[in-house]
Amino acid sequence: MRVMHVISVSGGKDSAATLLLAIARFGREYVIAIFCDTGNEHQVVYEYLDYLELALGIKITRLKANFDNEIANKRRFIARDQRTGRRHGRKLRWTNKAKRRALAVLQPTGNPFLDLCLWKGRFPSRKAQFCTEQLKRNPAVEFQMDLIDQGYKVVSWQGVRRDESLNRRRAKRFEDVGGGLYIYRPIVDWSARDVFDYCARHGIKPNPLYMQGMGRVGCMPCINARKNELREIGARFPEHVARIHEWEQLVGAASKRQASTFIPAPGITPVQAKEHGIYSIIEWSRTSRGGRQYDMLADLIDSDSCASSYGLCDSTSWEEVTA
Ligand code: SF4
């Protein structure tokens, strides 16, 4: 049976190194690179994918989840819903006003992240991280299942490292999922430094976002972003904060409570949503420990300077790392 190696590329360093390894071991003919576009990406990620395609001589297939049917079903549901739910012991139902507001915004936008949240009437959270499954895992699995249906065995290469997080500390190098699907994690015991060094040895530059204060490359912002990352995003990429603010208005209007915030604040009212919206969170991210006092250093972040948490400290540091 023919074997195809599928590498999920995120625009970050780990998946770039994994793609390099796959090409080196099996050649471009047996390697397919895919990118699951969440629609909540920084423009630099798209540019970096273009760069990788040129540098590695391989096409990266862009995949996008689609929620048109789910949104159409939700429109129908809201239009005829008479049922009640409960919140804090009180009955909660779609009022006519909430229905009108929701139906006015519940239209597919073509942006997977926003459409997913419009459909769900909320943003994902750490406890309900449906974004990963719906926007990344499902499109990738669907793509790989298609290959299996075409008669291939599929090895899904994942750029996962054990020292990334507690969740990943037991990640296996190889798994036989069954049905012709295998998972391979070739850099599972590498450090971040190993990854950067490996890419550098092969002449692959890191995503410039690492030199702009981002510890990881993914959604801009990610719902799991740390306080310091949010502070950097607020200082360097205000246009993304403004976009998230717009999304909060739309997703809030599509929800039964008429309020939703990107960083979760469960059960809030529209009035409270203002205190928990993305602008308030960015403001909080500029405070020192305890959250009350503004950290004067935070005001000194220079949006052109480098603050990479991987030690690529300025525009020359990458050369230093690779020297
Ligand atoms: S990067 Fe963050 S926000 Fe984006 S899909 Fe993953 S967990 Fe969700």
Name 319's Cβ contacts closer than 8 Å, sequence gap at least 6: none
Domain range enclosing 243: 227-309
143 CA to centre of ligand 1 in angstroms: 20
* Secondary structure class of 112 (helix, strand, coil): helix
pLDDT at 124: 94
Query: 188 and 245, same structural domain?
Result: no
Q: Looking at the predicted structure, is the pLDDT value of residue 319 above 50?
A: no
**Confidence category of residue 202, pLDDT binned at 50, 70, 90:** very high
Same domain, 159 and 113: no
Number of domains in the chain: 3
Predicted model pTM? 0.87
Mutate to test the pocket of ligand 1, among 123, 125, 132 (most ligand atoms within 8 A of CB): 132
Peptide bond into 112 cis (omega under 30): no
pLDDT per residue as tens digits for the range 87-105: 555 566 788 888 999 999 9
**Ligand 1 center–CA 77 separation, angstroms:** 28
Could you tell me which of 226, 203, 215, 291 has the C-alpha nearest to residue 17? 203
- 199: helix, strand or coil: helix
Which of 92, 38, 29 shows the shortest CA–CA distance to 64? 38
Q: Which residues contact 136 (CB under 8 A, 6 or more apart)?
A: 8, 36, 38
Average pLDDT of the chain? 87
Q: Is residue 318 part of a domain?
A: no
Residue 317 confidence class, pLDDT cut points 50, 70, 90: very low
Q: Residues 8, 55: one domain?
A: yes
Domain final residue pick, 156, 183, 212 = 212
Residues with CB under 6 A from ligand 1: 38, 40, 124, 129, 131-132, 135-136, 218-219, 222-224
The residue type at 113:
F
Is 316 part of any domain? no
Is 289 among the domain residues?
A: yes
Q: Which atom of ligand 1 is nearest to the CA of 225?
A: 2
CB atoms within 10 A of CB 16: 31
Per-residue pLDDT for 118 more than 90?
Answer: yes
321 domain residue, yes or no:
no
Select from 126, 222, 261 the residue to mutate for testing ligand 1; criterion: most ligand atoms less than 8 Å from CB.
222
* 279 & 239 share domain: yes
pLDDT digits (tens, 9 = 90+) for 166-200: 778 888 999 999 999 999 999 999 999 999 999 99
294: left (phi over 0), alpha (psi -120 to 50) or beta: beta
Q: What's the pLDDT at 298?
A: 54
> Any idea what DSSP says for residue 299?
G
* Residue 150 shares a structural domain with residue 291: no
Asked whether 94 and 78 are in contact (CB, 8 A), the reply is: yes
User: What's the CA gap between 147 and 190, in Å, rounded?
Assistant: 29
